Amino acid sequence: MTERARLERRYRRMLACYPRAFRRESEDEVLAVLMSTAHEGRRRPGVAESADLIRGALRMHLSMPRPPRPVRNAVRLMCLGAVLTLAVPVTILVTLGGVRSAFVQDPAAGQWYTFLLTQVVPVLASAPVGAGVWLWLAWANGRGYGWARAAFLAFFGLLTVGLLIGPSEGAANADALPSTSPDLIATMVLWLVALVAMLLTFTEMAHPYYQRHQQKPAQQ
Residue with the larger pLDDT of the pair 50 and 110: 50
**Contact predicate 127/149, CB 8 Å:** no
Same domain, 166 and 82: yes
Total residue count of the chain as it appears in this document: 220
Asked whether the predicted pLDDT for residue 206 surpasses 60, the reply is yes
Same domain, 52 and 76: no
- Residues 81-135 pLDDT 10s: 999 888 777 766 666 665 556 555 555 445 656 656 656 666 677 788 889 999 9
Same domain, 120 and 195: yes
Q: Residues 47, 52, 62, CA angle at the centre, nearest 5°?
A: 135
Question: Whole-angstrom Cα distance, residue 73 to residue 81?
Answer: 12
Question: Whole-angstrom Cα distance, residue 162 to residue 196?
Answer: 18
Asked whether the predicted pLDDT for residue 169 surpasses 60, the reply is no
Using CA of residue 60, residue 62, residue 68, residue 74, what is the dihedral sign?
Answer: positive
Residue 12 banded pLDDT, cuts 50, 70, 90: confident
Residue with the larger pLDDT of the pair 138 and 128: 138
**Contact predicate 207/78, CB 8 Å:** no
- Residues 186-202 pLDDT 10s: 778 889 999 999 999 99
Eight-class DSSP state of 109: G
Q: Convert 31-65 to b/e letters by CB count within 10 Å (16 or more is b).
A: beebeeebeeeeeebeeebeeebeebbeeeeeeee
Same domain, 56 and 76: no
Same domain, 180 and 82: yes
Q: Residue 58 sits in which domain range? A: 3-62
Cβ atoms < 10 Å from Cβ of 220: 7
Same domain, 184 and 86: yes
Domain's final residue, options 62, 81, 109: 62
* Amino acid identity at 195: L
Total domains present in the chain: 2
- Whose CA is closest to 152, among 172, 134, 168? 134
Same domain, 48 and 96: no
Contacts of 134 by beta carbon, 8 Å cutoff, 6+ apart = 78, 79, 81, 82, 85
Q: Residues 7, 8, 11, CA angle at the centre, nearest 5°?
A: 90
Same domain, 95 and 12: no
For the segment 152-168, the average pLDDT, to the nearest whole number, is: 82
Same domain, 115 and 179: yes
**Contact predicate 118/175, CB 8 Å:** yes
Same domain, 133 and 205: yes
Same domain, 172 and 82: yes
Domain's final residue, options 62, 81, 102: 62
Domain's final residue, options 47, 62, 77: 62
Helical ranges in the chain per DSSP H: 3-15, 20-37, 47-62, 69-94, 96-105, 112-115, 121-143, 146-172, 181-201, 207-219
Same domain, 158 and 81: yes
Q: What is the pTM of this model?
A: 0.59
Asked whether the predicted pLDDT for residue 145 surpasses 60, the reply is yes
